[in-house]
Every structure is written in structure tokens, then in C-alpha cells.
Structure 1
């Protein structure tokens, strides 16, 4: 049975921009249901085949999706661009179209070029789930962040969330900004001037002001940006924009520390803060599986 364009749109997850509060809360509610189930494997979707198509390397996100898929009882195909015909010049479209032709039921896709995912979604007739596209969106990361906040505070409405770091290149910051606003949170950014995203309509605050937030989310510093001169040095970045032990001591007692990982310890966050009592970094990671189970279930229901 071929899906209608409306059904495809409802089952795919290309981004959180434009998703309603009800749609987001429904995914979070389903994730809560999956998290509390005692058995690891729930063969809810037997006979379904999901392909993880990673045209950009990722260990953490791919494993999280794979665990989620296996817990739901789906068959899993793992595709890595590093060992594929894309290296030989085949287009991303042709690769995805080939897997669709082989009979997969949904595709989880991660890629670097911006705009390609939206084009694929217009041509491919199976649900697609965005596992990170360029610096555009990373919807499942933001959903697990929202889930962590909702679990911590009971509600997201009224929270102030400070996102600190390289906003310009961050898909995590974008997905979080749009979803948090939809759910009634106040989002502020803190970034070096050359890492601000001017097109995003959000207030930029100082590091001192960011520490007053309910949630302080540190973004990973891409140390390769040293070469491009965006960061003068890791030490300089830590001194001005890192969450140091001294800065963390000024956080509100109720506040939590978050980070999408992987973490550069001693750069954007001091080593001893990663597993600090107020840190939810590894808790966030654990929420990746139930969130992705909810998103895959939504694609294949």
C-alpha cells in the first residue's frame, strides 16, 4: 500500500520546526511509556525493515537508533557512506532510492549537505527520520533533551534554557530553540561573536547571565575550527565560554547541566562537572533509546 503525501508527512520526522505542541508531547508521552517497560525487547514491529543510512559518521546516534529498532523487533540494515558506492560517486538520492526499491519500510538518515533531506522527502515514498542534517536540525537529540527537562521539572513551560557555544554551526541549538519555544520555554544563547547565528531570532546573553538559567546546555566545541581561526585556543575558549567548576558553583540549586555529547572535557565543560550531581549528561544519553523508539513507532505504526 502506497502512503499518501499526508501520511508520509505525519510519519516522517524531518525536523521540529513547525511541529505542534501536541505532536511533540505525544512523542514524549510514548517515550515515557517505552522507558518504563521492564522487558528490553518488545517485538511490536516484526517484519518491518529499517535502514540506518549514515552519510556522515556518528557512533552515538547510530547505536541509539539501532538499539531502539532492535527493541521494537525490526530488522536493521546499517549503511555507512565510508564503505559504500557513494565513495565511488553515486548520489545520496540514488543510494536511498535503491534501498527503498529493495523494500525497506523506513529510513533513518544523517547527512552533511543542507537541503538534501527536504528534497529526498519529496521523492522517496517511505517515512524518513532525520538523524542530523548539516547545521539545520537534529530533531531526536532535541526531543531527548526536552524529555530530560520535562522529567526533571515536570513541565517545560516557563523554564529558561541557556544554550552556550557554537550556535552558528549547531543543529542541536536550532532544533532545541524551535521545540522549546513551542512548549513555552524561554531560550537564550551565549556564544563568541563569530559563532552567533544572526538569522535566529533569539537573545544573546553573557556567560554570567547564562548561569542564571534553569537549564545550562553546553555545546561541543569543534576543535577543528581552530584551523579556521574561529577559536584562538581551547584554553581561551574555556576561560571565556567554558562551564568551569567555579562557574558551576554559581548555578541555582535547582538548575541542571546538559550537553548533547560527545564531550570535550576541559574545554566547554570541566572534567569534574560531567558527572556532577546537577549534571544530566548521561541521563540524556539514556533517554535517546525510548525517544527513538517513539519516533520509529510513529513512522511504522
Structure 2
């Protein structure tokens, strides 16, 4: 195997192309890191990791940064809003520049779809996808899988309902690919103009009532700025028809859990009282992001 191929296998671009065994291995390694009592280990001492965020996400960047620092890596944070990319420099040139300066891996988040795969063919350091357009968000799905595995013991046989704006959701796509590879049943629930038709062959679209009968009810964040584009008429109307209200949550199965990739629009896709309800795993998901990202970064640099 050539050096280039070895590097390419250490990228994490999405879950669609990962084998089931590889996903299971990452989950197992995350469990190892979660079990460690020491907050910081010298596992990646002397390694430089650049967090390259061409699209804002404070929560995801902090999670990666905590993971990197816990592994003993040197961390470089790059924000496009304060960079030369705003002046016209291409994303490729920026990544290539950081590569030439000697980074060992890059965590990258961007809006353009398809560009990350092109970068991975040209850049010789491993790249980790922290979200690209509406394509994939693999580490979010991995932490969701990890949360489900910790809750239920295994993922195989679970029914997972993903409710919300499927059309624009990279979280829904990564979860679909990862859950199905681990043997779960996935179903979607969305308004007609928020459905992704190309995904219908992989998972059925069901009513809200049917979606509530799953083992996991995963609510997606509503992009309130899409009011202007006509995807939703109002936050209130969305809540009325597709939000997880207290009344709807009462109809969930006794053992079922509520999940959400966060940040949460309280009172829109989910009622405020449910965010920290006993059924909710939302803050547990955020905590699980750190050991998952430790496993992913370690995989890239091992």
C-alpha cells in the first residue's frame, strides 16, 4: 500500500464509506478513552492538529479541541471569519498552507458539498470531517451511536426516528448510514418540503404518531432562517405539527429516549421541559462527543 493510500484510509470523510467493523472499532476505542481517569495523556505529544472551521460551530470546535488537548496534541484554531479566505483565498490554498507548515492532521468544517473529498485526494495529512454542507457530519453520528450503545447495550434491532429537516441535514445522513450498518431500523419524519427524496429508498417517511413509537426519537434542529425561504411558515406552526411537545413525549414508549444534535431551539423542535427530562440524552450526547473525537483523532494519527 502506498503512503498516499495509507493517508487516505486515515481520513474520516463520512460514515457512508466506512465498514461496520471500523465504526464498531471507533466506538470501542471511545469507551476506552471514557474509562481513563487521567484527563490528559501524552498519546499524541508532539503532534499538531489544526481545527479549520470555514463555517461557524463553537460547540463542535470546543469538543474537538478538548479531545485534542486531552490526547496531548498541540492545537491550532483557524476561523474563516478572521482569515484571508474572506479576502478571496481558496479553501484549498488555506489547507495546503497549513499542511506546508507541518500540521499532522486537520479537522475541517465547510459549507461546499463535495470539496472535502477533492481535498482529501490532494492533501497528504489526514482530514476529519466536522460537517460539510448537507452531506455528512460523521463524528456527530458516531457520538449518537455511542450514546445509543451505552443506553441500550447494543444498536442492532433498535428503531430510530429522525424528525425534522431531513433535506438539509448532514446529521440525518450520517446517522442513516451508521445506524443501518450496525443493524438498526431508521425512519424519517418531515414536512413534505423538508424531505430528501433520494433517501426514501434507504428509509421510509412516517407520520409523527408512528415516529413517536421508536426506541430513539431524534429531533433535528430547525434552521429558523429558513422562514424566509418558505420551508416553514413559523416556529409556532412547526412546533404544532412536528415539534416534540410534552404531550407527544408522553406517548413515547416507556424505555424510549430523546436525542438532539444541538444546539436546541427550545420551544420549537422540542419543548423546554424535555431538554433535561429523564428521557433526554441531549447533554449526555455532548459529553460523549469528547471520547468519540479522541478515538477519531487517534485513529487519524496512529
TM-score by length of 2: 0.98
Tell me the secondary structure at the aligned position of residue 204 of structure 1.
coil
CA distance in 2, matches of 1:8, 1:61: 24
What SS is found at the alignment partner of 1:203? coil
- Offset of residue 219 of structure 1: 0.1
The match for 1:95 is: 94
What do the CA deviations read for 1:45-79 (whole angstroms, capped 9, x no partner)? 11000000000001000000000000000000000
2:162–2:186 contact (8 Å) kept in structure 1: yes
1:120 is aligned to 2:119: yes
1:77 counterpart SS class: strand
**What's the offset of the Cα at 1:9?**
2.2
Paired residue total = 300
User: C-alpha displacement at 1:18, in angstroms?
Assistant: 2.0
1:7 to partner: Cα distance:
1.1
2:168 counterpart of 1:179? no
Query: Which stretches in structure 2 are left out of the alignment for 5+ residues?
Result: none
For residue 125 of structure 1, report the CA deviation from its aligned partner. Answer: 0.4
> What is the RMSD of the two structures over their aligned residues, measured on CA atoms?
0.9
Matches within 5 A, 1:11-50: 11-50=10-49
Moved more, 167-176 or 39-48: 39-48
How far residue 43 of structure 1 moved from its aligned partner, in angstroms, is 1.3
Counterparts of 1:151-162 in structure 2, within 5 Å, are 151-162=150-161
Given that 2:138 and 2:174 are in contact with CA atoms closer than 8 Å, whether structure 1 keeps it comes out as yes
Within 5 A, what are the aligned runs for 1:197-212? 197-200=196-199, 201=201, 202-212=203-213
Q: Distance in 2 between matches of 1:255 and 1:4?
A: 46
**Mapping of 1:221-300 within 5 angstroms?**
221-300=222-301
Q: Counterpart in 2 of 1:220?
A: 221
> Residue 6 of structure 1: CA displacement?
2.3
Retained in 1: the 8 A contact 2:166–2:188? yes
Q: Distance in 1 between matches of 2:106 and 2:171?
A: 20
Shift of 1:281: 0.3
Conserved 8 A contact 2:53-2:110? yes
1:5 CA displacement: 2.6
In structure 2, distance between residues paired with 1:18 and 1:45: 26
| Uncovered stretches (5+) of structure 1, i.e. residues with no partner | none
Contact 2:8–2:121 (8 Å) recurs in 1: no
**Shift in Å, 1:224:** 0.2
Deviations 1:186-231 (A, max 9, x none): 0000000000000112200000000000000000000000011110
Conservation of the 8 A alpha-carbon contact between 2:141 and 2:171: yes
